[in-house]
Amino acid sequence: MPTVQDYTSVHRPTWCPGCGNYGIWNSLKAALVNQNYELHDVLIVSGIGCGSKLPDYTEANGLMTLHGRPLAVATGCHLANHDLKVVITHGDGDGYSMGGNHFLHTIRRNLDIVDIYQDNKVYGLTKGQYSPTSDKGYKSKTSLGGSIEEAVFPLAVALAAGATFVSRSFAGDTDQLTWLIEQALQHKGYAMIDVFQPCVSFNKINTYQWYQERVYKLQDDPNYDTSNLDLAFQKAREWGDRIPTGIFYQVQRPTYAEQVPTLGKGALVKQGLRNSVPESIKNEFV
């Protein structure tokens, strides 16, 4: 079976020293190894942003797409070959702003994929503008008076859209993050992981220390019920002095692929094409 080193590409990361993306990258590799995934059985899809460079640094199938479009591309890849484990890695701007529409409809379809959001509450690659998850009043180079927009609560949005696995972690806690990614890999259906990823260059508020003073684990409470939707909504909007992490909500319902008869016969790329099909299509246009 592969090792963490096997998953490490010869291309070295260009992230800033101390960037939270290192924690996400290392946790993802560790989780894939712990779950015995071979390199060729994994596809990592990304968009545009600092964290979206991750496929280039990982020795597995990788596909970098357009800003805000990785979920649309990942959907096509998954449906073409649902034997692959598809993992998406993208930022809060890529996923919750430009890709907000795909975020909603991917959740509705309950595709069997793992969706990791590198949530640094800022546009890091384009030098520090506020993002959909930046707190109201957040000051940046392009909002000197502070953002006048309310921050998005992405976990609450996911719950409202019908997500079957909703979770959050912190890049400074790689043990918890590795465990969460493993749980997401095992989950049958859409699995969302929102990861607090400190941007050491542009976000001087939501730092490692800031999170360490606030985050707590839901799973430390033995009475927390991950099937309780109302409780998950309540926790998804908890923000301030105490911020929960862990699995907020997890249930099972049929995946998209399970409900498509053709996909039940196996991956499309392995089924082959009946000779009559291309001929009939061609004749329609002749």
Residues 235-247 have a mean pLDDT of 97
Mean local confidence (pLDDT), 224-251: 98
pLDDT exceeding 70 applies to what percent of the chain? 98
Of 13-17, 99-103, 211-215, 225-229, the least confident: 99-103
Using the predicted structure, report yes or no on whether residue 259 has a pLDDT greater than 70: yes
pLDDT for residue 18: 96
The residue-averaged pLDDT of 180-190 equals 98
Decide which of 171 and 146 is more confident: 171
Q: Provide the pLDDT for residue 26.
A: 97
For residue 119, pLDDT beyond 90: yes
Task: Tell me what pLDDT residue 176 has.
Answer: 98
Of residues 235 and 142, the one with the higher pLDDT is: 235
CA 157, CA 100: separation in Å to the nearest integer? Answer: 10
By percentage, how much of the chain surpasses pLDDT 90?
Answer: 76
Position 276 pLDDT exceeds 70: no
Q: What is the mean pLDDT of the chain?
A: 93
pTM for the full predicted model: 0.93
The CATH class, in words, for 21-284 is: alpha beta
Q: Is the pLDDT of residue 273 over 70?
A: no
pLDDT reported for residue 275: 57
pLDDT in tens, 36-92: 999 999 999 999 988 899 999 999 999 999 988 999 999 999 999 999 999 999 999
pLDDT of res. 274: 61
Domain boundaries, the chain: 21-284
Convert the pLDDT of each residue in 91-117 to its tens digit. Answer: 998 989 888 889 999 999 999 999 999
pLDDT at 255 over 90: yes
Residue 244 pLDDT > 90: yes
Binned at pLDDT 50, 70 and 90, residue 192 comes out as very high
